[in-house]
Amino acid sequence: MAIPLLDIRDLTVEFATRNGTVTAVKKVDIRINKGETLGIVGESGSGKSVTSYALLRILDRAGRIADGSIVFGGVDVGGADERTMSELRGREMSMIFQNPRAALNPIRAVGRQIEDVMIQHGLATRGNARGKAIKMLEAVRIREPEQRYHAYPFELSGGMCQRIVIAIALACRPQLLIADEPTTGLDVTTQKAVMDLIVELAAERQMATLLITHDLGLAASYCDRIVVMEKGEIVEAATVDELFANPQHPYTQRLMRATPRLDSQVADLLPVDDKRRASTERQPLGPPLLEVDALVKAFGSTKVSDTVKAVDNLSFTLHEGESLGLVGESGCGKSTTSAMIMRLLDPTSGALTFAGTDIAAISAKQFAHHPLRSKLQMVFQDPTDSLNPRWSARRSIEDPLRRLTHVNRQELNSRVSLLAERVGLPLHLLDRFPHQLSGGQKARVGIARAIALEPRLLILDEPTAALDVSVQAVVLNLLASLREQLNMSYLFISHDLNVVRLLCDRVMVMQAGQIVEEGPTDKLLSEPSHQYTRALLAAIPHPPAHANPNNISVATL
Amino acid sequence: MSTLTSNPTSNEGALRRFIRHLLYVMTDNPVTAIAFILFLLMIIAALFGPWLVPYNPLATDSSSTLQAPSWQHWFGTDHLGRDVFSRVVVATRLDLMIAVTAVAIAFIVGSALGAIAGFYGGWADRITGRLMDTIMAFPLFVLAMGIVAAAGNTIENIIYATAIINLPFYARMARTEVAVRRQAGYVQAARLSGNRDWRILAFQIFPNSLPPMMVQISLNMGWAILNAAGLSFIGLGVSPPTPEWGIMVAEGANYIVSGHWWLALFPGMALMLAVFTFNLLGDGLRDLVDPLRRT
């Protein structure tokens, strides 16, 4: 067998923290051959990113490689001095970061940033760098590279920025490309374009790729081999086919089950014996609860010609007990729509009839104390951002009760305990601050706060976008159960058709402020009529079909 | 890694938790510990100074004028035979009082103005912004001199003058800190919970913008002491024979030429030490009020 390009043996990384030493990565063995694509899959805190940082020797000050060896192309990375490392970084191995905007210098033209890395490593001179940079822009399929060369990161979309980052990473023709969650935060169609590009360029240049992701579906679509990490250790390593045909480790099985596939129901995401599984029973639909009629939100100047319509003539009806999905990519106007329905934002024109009252006529300011306020609540996208960092979980949950109901201290405490129980939050966590809770626990606090006033309509704004898949599975089941227990209607807003479909009876697809397609979930997914819906569906990465551990979804269908 | 962090015991008293956190902040950074110790010494001197010192700071003694530092008079005596050490220690109270009151007024008024400007934007923002620009357009010390000279030569006016020249710093900082949090998720959530605007500003946004302001308070404290001493040095505000660092330096400066260096040196050192302490204290204070630094 040939000598692998990268050979990591027994890698152990430790961090010195306030509470003693924490081992983030434990005895990890990874080998990558030339031209191979390896995926490291794991949830947050599994040590997958730390492994790649150790590999590039860019660990935090508190972290250190405690044990093990890293050999890259014959160079001992663990023992190399800083000078050798800066030669290696960027030139031999380079990295694509999670947030492309944060990875680019905001005040330097993108073309210059590509030149910088080439000049740094002596692959271009001041004279010929410009031409080479434009060639790189062409290579990452950026149209009009001559003009884009002068663009600043803020002038480009997220997907474009990620292409620039890829161009910088590949400018020196490295042998190994490390992609750390390269598509998190990008829309699903952009994700496909970016991933296709990475794989294509890697094949063209005989480059090895290390793809770090939490998305099993994504890893399956683009990798040759997959390494599954949990709590700093590798629990399973196999080729994609082997792994999906016969996952050995219980963690891999759980992860696979939790990854939504095209045919799974919401309960399928959790093991059969899990008490948190939602029942599939649904309440019958009631009368219309929310009627949206010709809703418009225009931004910009008062002159008609200059305005941008974020939401353009939107109309739909949501019945009591119904769950409606609103799917679209970033910038399509779905968040503006939800803010208007929530009455956080005043619409430019149009009517919003909620429970028989035209709430669009009440200004956002006055609505804060309107009796209907408590019936219209929301679960926010980012559980961390939506909790006041200085308030304990208890205080966050009881805030709506204190503001909009008149209950005494004792009743308040029992209500909060009941809510915590409802969302499955252990009572002893109620006195913790948000930063002391995990992502899933924070999501539960946010849900408990949203249902505290027993709303009739709950808007879910990408409630699981910031969560790991296994936590997402639990949260989705929780939302499905709560809907039946409390007889709520949901408006589920997301960019991910695959998740929306698990909870919704009906789905609307939104593009550029307008609804382009609408229909019952099953029909919309099986026979999409609009081209945009088809593009969205095609872009979702899927694990291989034979992947289900117990073939549950096949049995239920 | 989150699973490995230790569980804080929630039934522990709030005070004990605070002390534990204080100890952590101090041991984590030795500079902070030094600053806290110096600060504690200053507080003791300010509170109990008159009872701790060996001599009456105002008592003159014509038999022992201008004596060099000795075991009897640690910092020597001045031209009227007063004990410099006693005067330096007793002066702490007045100087701290001026600084604390001035900074407190500047912080309360400035951050309230800034928070309102940052939260509502529009006209509120424009008016406060221009107002602060106007204050900043003057050389600050000259402005303070002008205010004291015009309003009358009293300690209160020194405090107001110091407060006014420090206002813009708090207003600008509060404005920025509030404006970046105006659209935060928890602010939206508070709106959905039926909170009125003032409540959101006071209980959700403002407390979260405190940590960077703590650093500002601490730095300003040093400036305020310098400012008060500076005004006294040029003969505004506090008048002799009241022990005050600025006056003592001013008086002592006349005697440096004749070799009586201790008259100006020791109050000057006290002034320097106070400013130094407050400058060091900033980071520690920020860590103390930042919930994210707690486990």
Q: Could you read off the pLDDT of A304-313 as tens digits, one per residue?
A: 666 778 888 8
User: For position A554, what pLDDT does the model report?
Assistant: 33
Any chain A CB within 8 A of the CB of B134?
A: no
Q: Which of A378, A60, A314, A251 is nearest to B190 (CA)?
A: A378
Mean pLDDT over all residues of chain B? 83
A450 vs B contacts (CB less than 8 Å): 192
Least confident of B58-67, B171-180, B267-276: B58-67
pLDDT bin (cut points 50, 70, 90) of residue B292 is low
Query: Would you place residue A547 in the very low, low, confident or very high pLDDT band (cuts 50, 70, 90)?
Result: very low
* Distance of residue A367 Cα from the nearest chain B Cα, in angstroms: 8
The pLDDT tens digits of the residues spanning A180-225 come to 888 877 788 888 888 888 888 888 888 899 999 888 888 888 899 9
Decide if B185 touches A, using CB distance below 8 A: yes
Q: How far is A365 from chain B, CA to nearest CA, in Å? A: 8
Taken in order A518, A524, A525, A529, the sign of the CA dihedral is negative
B9 in contact with A, Cβ within 8 Å: no
Sign of CA dihedral A187, A189, A192, A197: negative
Give just the sign of the alpha carbon dihedral A198, A203, A205, A209: positive
C-beta of residue B79 within 8 angstroms of C-beta of residue B66? yes
Nearest Cα residue to B46 out of B102, B88, B96, B84:
B96
Number of helical H runs and strand E runs in chain A: 21, 20
To the nearest whole Å, the CA of B25 is away from the closest chain A CA by: 11
* A531 reaches B (C-beta below 8 A): no
- Check CB contact under 8 Å for B194 and A386: no
Residue A436 sits at the chain B interface (C-beta within 8 Å): yes
B24 close to A (CB below 8 A): yes
The stretch A128-137 carries a mean pLDDT of: 87
- Distance, CA of A423 to CA of A441 (rounded, Å): 9
User: Between A and B, how many residue pairs show a Cβ–Cβ distance under 8 A?
Assistant: 91
Selected residues 217-236 of chain A with any CB under 8 Å from a CB in chain B: 231
Nearest chain B residue to A46 by CA: give it: B1
- Report yes or no: A65 and A12 within 8 Å, Cβ to Cβ: yes
Contact between B225 and B271 under an 8 Å Cβ cutoff? The reply is yes
pLDDT band at A227 (very low <50, low <70, confident <90, very high): very high
Residues 6+ apart with CB under 8 A from A59: A13, A50, A53, A65
CB B178 within 8 A of CB B206: yes
CA distances from A409 to A399, A412, A414, B13, B185 (A): 12, 5, 9, 20, 27
Report the residue of A416, A436, A461 to disrupt the B interface, i.e. the one with the largest count of B CBs within 10 Å: A436
A101 contacts chain B (CB < 8 A): no
Both structure tokens of A338: 């939800």
The larger pLDDT score, comparing residue A190 to residue A452, is at A452
CA distance A213 to chain B (A): 17
Which of A44, A341, A388 to mutate to test binding with chain B, by most B CBs within 10 Å of its CB? A388
Angular region, A95: left φ>0, alpha ψ -120 to 50, beta rest: beta
Q: Given B191, B204, B294, which is nearest A388 (Cβ)?
A: B204
Average pLDDT over residues B230-253: 82
Say which residue, A544 or A148, is predicted with more confidence. Answer: A148
pLDDT at A355: 86
Nearest to A403 among B194, B291, B294 (CB): B194
Which of A373, A386, A388 has its CB closest to that of B208?
A: A388
Work out the angle at residue A370's Cα, subtended by the Cα atoms of residues A364 and A376, and round it to the nearest 5 degrees: 80
Cβ of residue B193 closer than 8 Å to a chain A Cβ: yes
CA distance A196 to chain B (A): 32
B3 part of contact set with chain A, CB < 8 Å: yes
Q: What is the ipTM of this complex?
A: 0.76
Residues paired with B8 in a beta bridge: none
- pLDDT single digits (tens) A453-499: 889 999 998 888 778 888 888 888 888 888 888 888 999 998 888 88
Please provide residue A432's backbone torsions phi and psi, each rounded to the nearest 5 degrees. Answer: -90, 160
**Which value, in Å, is the radius of gyration of the alpha carbons in chain B?**
23
Instruction: Give the mutation candidate from B20, B25, B186, B205 for the A interface (greatest A CB count, under 10 A).
Output: B186
Select from B3, B194, B291 the Cβ nearest to the Cβ of A373: B194
Q: What is the mean pLDDT of residues B38-56?
A: 84
Within 8 A of A390 by CB-CB distance, chain B residues are 207-208, 291
- Work out the widest C-alpha separation in chain B, in whole angstroms: 77
Q: Is A369's CB within 8 Å of B194's CB?
A: yes
Residue to test with chain B: of A386, A395, A468, most B Cβ within 10 A: A386
Q: Do B28 and A18 touch (CB under 8 A)?
A: yes
Classified as helix, coil or strand, A57 is coil
The whole-angstrom distance between A456's CA and the closest CA on chain B is 14
Whether B8 has its CB under 8 Å from any CB of chain A: the answer is: yes
Residues of chain A contacting residue B3, judged by C-beta atoms under 8 Å apart = 45, 231
Best B183, B191, B192 member to test A by mutation, with max A CBs in 10 Å, is B192
Beta bridge pairs of residue A28 = A11
pLDDT in tens, A231-248: 888 999 989 888 888 888
Q: Tokens standing for A320?
A: 């009591």
The partner residue sitting opposite A344, judged by closest CB among B191, B195, B294, is: B191
Tell me which residues of chain A, numbers 464 to 503, contact chain B at a CB-CB cutoff of 8 Å: none
Separation between Cα atoms, residue A458 and residue A482, nearest integer Å: 11
Cα A367–Cα A371–Cα A373 angle in degrees, nearest 5: 50
Cα distance between residue B207 and residue B203, in whole Å: 6
* pLDDT, mean of residues A526-550: 75
Structure tokens at B84: 């410099």
Q: Which residue has the tokens 């956190």?
A: B21
Chain A positions touching B28 (Cβ under 8 A) are 18
Sheet with A376-379, edge to edge strand ranges: A376-379, A457-461, A489-494, A323-327, A506-511, A514-520
B185 vs A15: CB contact, 8 Å cut-off? no
- Peptide bond preceding B241 in cis form (omega within 30 of 0): yes
Is the confidence at residue B268, as pLDDT, over 50?
yes
